[in-house]
Amino acid sequence: MAADEPSERQLRVLPWWLVLVGLLLAVALGWLVLDLLLTEADRAVAPDTRATLRIDAIRTGLTVVAGTGGGLALLLAARRQWITERAQRHQESVAVRDQAHRDRVQAHAESVAEAAQRQQDRQSGAAEHDAAERRLTELYTRAVELLGSDSAAVRLGGLHALERLGQDNAAQRPTIGAVLCAYLRMPAPDDEPRETEVRRTAQRVLTRHLRADDPAYWPELTLDLAGAALVDFDASGCTLVDANFTATAFTGTTTFAGVTARGRLLLAAATFDDVVFEGLAADGEVMLDGVRVGGAASFDGAAFTDGLSCRRAGFAGLTSFRRATFGQPTSFDATRFEDATTFREAIFDGALSMEHTEFGRSANFHSVRFVNMALFRWTMFGAEALFDRARFADAANFGRARFHSMASFRDARFSRTPQVEQARAVLDPGHRWPPGTVVERLDDEWLLLVDR
């Protein structure tokens, strides 16, 4: 019996002798009453009265016997009714328990069937997943094998096969991007003139999926092209996340115009022919240490939120930072600009350091705003140094700088007197020094600027 089922007292069968005893007691009681009444009747004086009393006594005794028997019959009938009701309740209880048991059995069967179905679905899903993974592995392996072919046409087919695989399977994109970057990092075979087109295609495959406004954008893709050789690399409008171009050789025209750089953008020791960074928006540090640019370089409108490090770099052609903004400390220490260079209308929110920097041609800082400290110590200006209408909101230091041509600070504003200790300038009638600057003639060729 279940623990939650009510316990019932065991029903006992009424013994036959108990009924017999009841009948005997009824007869005995009737006989006793009859005997008492007859004894009283015999005491009557009148014979007529005695007979009447004996008849009444007999009637009363029989009545007692009949009443007692009727009471016993009523008790038996009541017991029978109670037994009938109890049996009915028992049948109902058994029916309820049977139904509950059937429901539990049905629920258990359904649960087992559902579990079996789930297990079957999992097995089916696992089988489908394994089949899909095997298919992906086969496609990936086949595409990589094509990429390693000796035929340029076959290698092109491998590139497009990898691209299709990545387009249909987002989880494979980081691996595919890593494979394409590794391919571009490998040296190009000297005896295969068509390899250049293959590498251009690999570059386009990478950059095509780095434009956030393009439906084919792969946000999982990162570039590690350190030491690669890239031809006419065009990343305009791309979103680069922690991109690494350290020591990369860029030939032809390279463009990072409109690039959004998230994280660090590493270009240290890279070499360029011509390069365009116009409209670059970088929220991490941009590293250009040791960069060599053989042609023109344009950074017009670029935003370096976390600063720019461009130390010991070399720019051989025209270089422009017009309207560029620099949010954190920026360094051009020991960098050489061989041709004309302009920072016109640029904003340096962080400190600027141009110590030991060389400008071979004119250096234009017209209307530049220096919010923080600006250091031009030991800077060499090989031609005109134009700081007209520049604003220095903090300290400015031109100590030991060399001005080999005209220096102009016309309408420039300083929050404090600039430091010019031991700075020198060639004799030139066009010089326009900041107000209060003390200039002494050193010899027939040079002027000496002295701090007051």
> Residue ranges of the domains in the chain?
16-113, 148-221, 222-450
Give pLDDT tens digits for 220-268: 889 999 999 999 999 999 999 999 999 999 999 999 999 999 999 999 9
What pLDDT sits at residue 2? 44
On the question of pLDDT at 14 being above 90, the answer is no
Are 282 and 265 a contacting pair, CB within 8 Å? yes
What pLDDT sits at residue 363? 98
Q: Which of 240, 244, 203, 245 is nearest to 219 (CA)?
A: 240
**CA distances from residue 316 to 142, 334, 378 in whole angstroms, order as listed:** 45, 14, 20
On the question of pLDDT at 294 being above 80, the answer is yes
Alpha helices in 15-151 (DSSP H): 16-42, 47-147
Give pLDDT tens digits for 41-68: 666 556 666 667 667 767 776 777 777 7
Residue 403 neighbours by CB distance under 10 Å: 26
What pLDDT sits at residue 4? 45
Tokens standing for residue 143: 């595409």
Q: Which of 233, 307, 325, 294 is nearest to 265 (CA)?
A: 307
170 secondary structure, DSSP code? G
Under DSSP, is residue 215 helix (H, G, I), strand (E, B) or coil? coil
Q: Where are the beta strands (DSSP E) in 384-445?
A: 385-386, 391-392, 396-397, 402-403, 407-408, 413-414, 423-426, 438-441
On the question of pLDDT at 6 being above 50, the answer is no
Are 387 and 408 a contacting pair, CB within 8 Å? yes
Alpha helices in 216-294 (DSSP H): none
Are 260 and 212 a contacting pair, CB within 8 Å? yes
Are 311 and 335 a contacting pair, CB within 8 Å? yes
Give pLDDT tens digits for 113-161: 888 888 888 877 777 766 666 776 687 788 788 888 888 889 899 999 9
DSSP 290-328: T-EESS-EE-TT-EETT-EE-TT-EE-S-EE-TT-EE-S
Element (H, E) at 347: strand 347-348
Please give the model's pTM, rounded to 2 decimal places. Answer: 0.73
